[in-house]
Amino acid sequence: SDDLMQQECKYEVDALLDHLFEHQSTGPFVSLRLIQQMVTSNPNPGYVSRVVSAFREGTYTSGSFTFGSGKYGDLAATTAAVLLDVEARTEQFDADPSFGRALEPVPKLMAILKAMESEPS
């Protein structure tokens, strides 16, 4: 009876994870979070759309290189799209004050204190 209950619980959890993974908003959610963590806190919609396409199609091509397995949700293709997209590599965005990653309050304070050569007391 306990074995049967554990088996049913496992099937239900697997079904829920499959449902969440295949949900239409999973690609945009994962893509946006990866872009925000690796490249910029404020990506434009075109950038997010290109990364979502790589997530959904499972492949990303940059020049003569192709990344991914062709399966939905391939993180190699998604990560390649995040890091190799023109928006991530173009220097003109460096001059844009809205481009880049915003620091969280504590790391920002630590960076300021380090820049001022503050010593702990």
Q: What is the mean pLDDT of each run of 10 residues along the chain (121 residues)?
A: 91 96 96 92 92 97 94 96 90 62 67 77 66
Residues 6+ away with beta carbon under 8 Å from 54: 31, 60, 68, 74, 77, 78, 80, 81
* Residue 1, SS3 per DSSP: coil
Does the model's pTM come out above 0.85?
no
Write the pLDDT tens digit of every residue in 78-109: 999 999 999 888 766 666 665 666 656 667 67
Length of the chain: 121
Residue found by looking up tokens 């994870």 in the block:
17
